[in-house]
């Protein structure tokens, strides 16, 4: 049972990691990066490291992704030319 959950979570994490470098728009990459971080937090929960998992969500998803999105949105859109 736990193996299936592990496989699903790691598949989704790897998929979104690949999509980070595959997508054309920077904002989409940032969203996929958030997916990667959430997947990693899921792996931490499977390892029974709850504290680490929620700190991962708080720091990476809550702060780092917001910062990345802020910088992308406040700079000029170069990718659409």
The binding site for other proteins (CB under 8 A) comprises 1, 25, 27-28, 31, 34, 50-51, 54-55, 57-58, 61-63, 65-66, 69-70, 73-74
Which tokens go with 26? 């920077």
HSE, side-chain direction, 13 A CA sphere, residue 71: 7
Minimum gap (Å) between residue 11 Cβ and other proteins: 20
Minimum gap (Å) between residue 51 Cβ and other proteins: 5
Q: Which of 39, 40, 44, 36 is nearest to 16 (CA)?
A: 36
What is the SS3 assignment for 61? helix
Would you say 18 or 28 has its CB closer to other proteins? Answer: 28
Minimum gap (Å) between residue 74 Cβ and other proteins: 8
């Amino acid at each position: 049972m736990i193996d299936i959950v592990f496989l699903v979570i790691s598949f989704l994490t790897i998929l979104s990691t690949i999509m980070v470098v595959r997508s054309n728009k920077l904002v989409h990459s940032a969203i996929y990066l958030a997916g990667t971080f959430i997947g990693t937090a899921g792996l931490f929960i499977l390892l029974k490291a709850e504290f680490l998992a929620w700190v991962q969500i708080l720091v990476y998803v809550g702060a780092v992704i917001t910062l990345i999105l802020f910088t992308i949105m406040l700079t000029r859109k170069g990718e659409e030319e």
